[in-house]
Every structure is written in structure tokens, then in C-alpha cells.
Structure 1
Amino acid sequence: MSPEVISQRLQQLLQQTPFASLGEDVQQLLQARLQTMLTNMNLVTREEFDVQCEVLARTQAKLAELEQRLAALADAPASNTADSDIAASETPSESNSTPQQPAD
């Protein structure tokens, strides 16, 4: 919200309250005080908020993708280990079709 919009809304609010009968100086003092409080709240514009929401959505999507890739990589060594265990359990005579000659 721009300061002008805040000022207009404050004027409307003041006109609807008992403060409308107060002098211009008191109204300006209240307006200045309110704007100071709003400034100290570190509020962001709607545009800034929307941009940050988009950044967050992209970050969450990237995180989900990386978690899936990590899970796939964590499962990959387990399947590679199982394949190598099967290959290691075969003896050379089982994998070689030519008979061995006895040593003299």
C-alpha cells in the first residue's frame, strides 16, 4: 500500500470516528504516528509477496525433484550390490565350459 492510499484511508476512518471533531493538528499527528508504526512493521507489497511465493514454489519443486533423485541413487547401489553378489557366487569352473586338465 502506498503512503497516499494509507493517508486517504486514514482520513476516511478519522471522519467516521469521534476524532473528526479534533483539530487538523491532532489528525496530522495521528496520521504521522500510524505511518511510522506501519513503516516499522517491515510490511511488503503484494507484488513482492507474490514474487516470493513463486520463488518458494520453484524451490519446493526443485527440492522434491532432488529428493526423488537421491532416493533413486540410494536404491541404485543396493541393486548393483545384488548383481555383483550373484556374479561373485559363480565359481570359475561353472562359468568356464572347458574342462580343466589335472596337474602332473
Structure 2
Amino acid sequence: MSANHDLYDQRKYNAAPIVIGDYSWIGMNSIVTAGVVLGPRTIVAAGAVVTKSFPDGFCILAGVPAKVVKYLDKECFQPWHLENEYYGYIPKEKFESVRTKYLDI
């Protein structure tokens, strides 16, 4: 859910998308509020409450409210890819048969 109620009229709400960058981790029981943008390789510690954006990424966030506890060195990351491509949990080579059987597109 990515919306907050209006402070003066609780019948209204302010919706805003949450953007989570590639290869980011969101820890258990953490909260990311509406409108927050997290850049690539951002790690949110368990139980953290993220109320502002960290669009540059490459950091570890923790606390209430969340703040940067460590910056990550961009040069140290090793790129990798899965050997097989998947659509959800379905292997790419089987997806077309599943799509035509179960999806009406």
C-alpha cells in the first residue's frame, strides 16, 4: 500500500508510487512509505522505517526513521545472471505454453 491520509480530511488520501532499485533488499518488518525512491543495491535493515528517498542507492539503511549506516563501494560488485531465464517461477522455454493455456491475452 502506498498512500497516506490527508491530515485535515481523512476521507482523502495522497497516493504515490514506491520505486525500489535493482538488486535491493528489503528486510523483514520494515516499512517504506509512499513516494519513496530507493536506488540500486539499497539494503533496508529489518524493522527500519524509510520515510525519505535515497535515489543514489549503494547504501545500507537502518533505524526509525531510516538513515544511512554504511555506503557500499560500487566498484566491488560482481555482476551475475541466472543461467536460465524465468517469468516468475516458470522457465522461459515453458512460458509460452502456460501463457496460451491459462492467460486470455
TM-score, normalised relative to structure 1 = 0.23
Whichever structure has more strand as a proportion of its residues is 2
Q: TM-score, normalised by structure 2?
A: 0.23
Report the structure, 1 or 2, having the larger helix content: 1
